Amino acid sequence: MPTLTIDGRQITVPSGTTVLQACDQLGMNVPRYCYHPGLSIAGNCRICLVEIDKFPKLQISCNTPTADGMVVKTQSDKTVKARQDVLEFLLANHPLDCPVCDQAGECELQNYYMDHGLYDSRFEEQKVKKQKAVPLGETVMLDQERCILCSRCVRFTDEISKTSEFGIFDRGDHAEVNLYPGKTLDNKYAGNVVDICPVGALTDRDFRFKARVWYLSSSPSVCPGCARGCSTDIHYVLDRPYLAEGARVMRLKPRYNPDVNQWWMCDEGRYSYKSIDQARLTQPICRQGGETHDFVWELAFAEVVRRLKDAKTRGALSQWGIVPSPQMTNEELFVTKQLAQRWGIACNPAVPVKLGYSDSFLIQADKNPNRRGMETIGFDADKASLIDRALRGELRVLYVFDHDLVDLYGAEKARRLSEQVYLIYQGTNENATSQLAHLVLPSAVYAEKDGTFTNVDGHVQRTFKAFEPLQGARPTLEILFEIAKRMDEPLIYSSAVQVFKALAQAVPAFHGLDYDMIGKTGKRAPA
């Protein structure tokens, strides 16, 4: 455990800690381009040079191990001058096309130049010309002139995706990053190279020219694309409807979470954000006698409650069935289960599970974010699926959350089902089931509500409400609360945080957890 002094402040760090990591622990912003905590050390950009007593030359802090008694200066004249010099080198052949560069605003060349710029250029030579706007695959665009050859992308594809598409070709100021001949950047994690590119060399073809980054707001979230539940940030714009045809979400970025996804996320998750703004169910729909009517919530609630009260009066609630889904948050599942138990309604999530692509890194075959949570909360032991029971004519009303029955059972079976029962479908996006259901209740997506998901490893994570539900959509919890209220049996809670409190007391797997403790990176329940 060496103790060293950095800019006059003492710090004791575990042995093996580098000077740069020690600086980070003290919150000192030592510039870096090639260094990335998730990748091997390259030591090539040279901007993290610092002055260390007893070393005749400046040392790169990223590759210098800390030692007891070391005295480091990150703000000395020599250090600051070295940064200025490195920036001068990096910008010598840089095109300085910030006004048309997508990275502007989140570019480390810009950021460090603000602090250490030469400002008065003394470069009067022809710049080296390289290739611009080269599509590397479906999602990533390369601009070789903006590239500073930090090799982060090369190391990412060598060490993380293990697909090795990138190489550095040629030498000196003609050196360039490119794909190896015959390769396409099409691995499942390709988009991460855009995140780690510190400059505008690698940009996201999906995000390119959509919005300047300083218009973006950010909200922490969890990717609902599979059972991994990668931590993400949702980048959105609410006040510029002329951008991206009025869409609110512009992009997703992985958010560092040491217990779940480190710095990364897969491309499938990255581009899944489009369903937040596209093909949404935005108002209740009622289908009767072959006719479809747009509804208002007042009528929709009245319809559900009328049928519920009627069944209750007749003692026919056993002819109801609720099919919850692993797309739902723990809070929604808990309340659903409570209401079903209260009214004696069969509540069984059993449907066929469609598995997708998986790998040994992040991507899980189960494309639902909360199967683990659903299993922990626990539903009817009755194995007989409610769909089968409905097809056998044992049920009169089926309340289905999220599941696209047409996709799961085929159009023919789904149609027969809709003839057997009154089908209530509560979901976020249009699908074949929403086209079939007698009553459609539009619910909020994960970005529009608070709640928690339990990932495949039992890690409980919060999704945060970034913005209001789109048009007439409502958060599932709110819908359930409202139904209970209109049944004159209101629930004692009125928010996700209150539900979670009750959940944490009722279900052992959640004992001891609360929202503050879960925070932005999640927690496993104490054993």
Partner 1 sequence: MASEMVLSKRLKNPGGAWFDAYVADGGYAAAKKVLTAMTPAQVIDEINKANLRGLGGAGFPTGKKWSFIPKDSPKPKYLVVNADEGEPGTFKDRYLLERDPHALIEGMLIAAYSIGCHKAYVYIRGEYIEPYRRFVRAIEEARKKGWIGEAVQGKWDWEVTVHRGAGAYICGEETALLSSLEGGKGFPRLKPPFPAISGLFASPTIVNNVETLCCVPPIIRNGAEWFAKIGTPKQGGTRLFSLSGHVEKPGLYEAPVSVTLRQLIEQQGGGVRGGKKLKAVVPGGISAKILTAAEIDVAMDFDSLTAAGTMAGSAGVIVMDESTCMVKALLTAAKFFAHESCGQCSPCREGPGRLYKIIQRVAAGQGRRQDLDVLLAVAGNMEGKTICVFADAAAWPIQSYIRKFRSEFEHHVETGTCELGHAYAHH
Tell me the residue type at 77: D
Judged by CB, which is closer to partner 1: 127, or 486? Answer: 127
> Which range in 117-125, 294-302, 303-311, 343-351 contacts partner 1 by CB under 8 A?
117-125
The smaller minimum CB distance to partner 1, of residues 180 and 357, is found at 180
Smallest separation (angstroms) from partner 1 to the CB of 42:
8
Nearest alpha carbon to residue 140 among 151, 150, 153: 153
Residue 348 makes contact with partner 1 by CB under 8 A: no
User: What is the separation, in whole angstroms, between the first and last Cα of the chain?
Assistant: 31
Min dist CB 90 to partner 1, Å, is: 5
HSE of 375, CA atoms in CB hemisphere, 13 A: 11
Residues listed for the chain: 527
When binding is defined by CB under 8 A, the residue of 54, 57, 314, 383 that contacts partner 1 is 57
State the Cα torsion 118-124-126-131 to the nearest 10°: 20
Name the phi and psi angles at 65, rounded to 5. Answer: -70, 145
Kindly state the smallest distance separating residue 84's Cβ from partner 1, in Å.
Answer: 9
Decide: is 168 part of the binding site for partner 1 (CB under 8 A): yes
Q: Is 43 near partner 1 (CB under 8 A)?
A: yes
Residue of 54, 122, 314, 383 that binds partner 1 (CB under 8 A) = 122
Kindly state the smallest distance separating residue 250's Cβ from partner 1, in Å.
Answer: 32
- The pair of structure tokens assigned to 455 is 């990932």
Q: How far apart are CA 9 and CA 73, in angstroms?
A: 10
Contact call for residue 199 and partner 1 (CB under 8 A): no
DSSP 429: B
* Closest distance of CB 174 from partner 1, Å: 7
Q: Is 107 in the site for partner 1 (CB under 8 A)?
A: no
What is 42-55 written as a DSSP string? ---S-TTEEEETT-
Q: Which of 123, 180, 209, 357 binds partner 1 (CB under 8 A)?
A: 123
Q: State the binding string over 126-165 for partner 1 (x if CB under 8 A, else -).
A: x-x-------------------xx----------------
Closest of 217, 256, 219 to residue 449, by C-alpha: 219
Q: For the CB of residue 129, give the shortest distance to partner 1 in the complex, in Å.
A: 13
Which of 5, 63, 429, 521 is close enough to bind partner 1 by CB under 8 A? 63
- In SS3 terms, 73-132 reads as ECCCHHHHHHHHHHHHHHHHCCCCCHHHCCCCCCCHHHHHHHHHCCCCCCCCCCCCCCCC
Using alpha carbons, select from 234, 255, 260 the residue that is nearest to residue 464. 234
Q: Are the C-beta atoms of 326 and 351 separated by less than 8 Å?
A: no
Chain residues in the site for partner 1 (CB under 8 A): 41-47, 49, 57-58, 63, 82, 85-86, 88-90, 92-93, 122-126, 128, 148-149, 167-168, 170-175
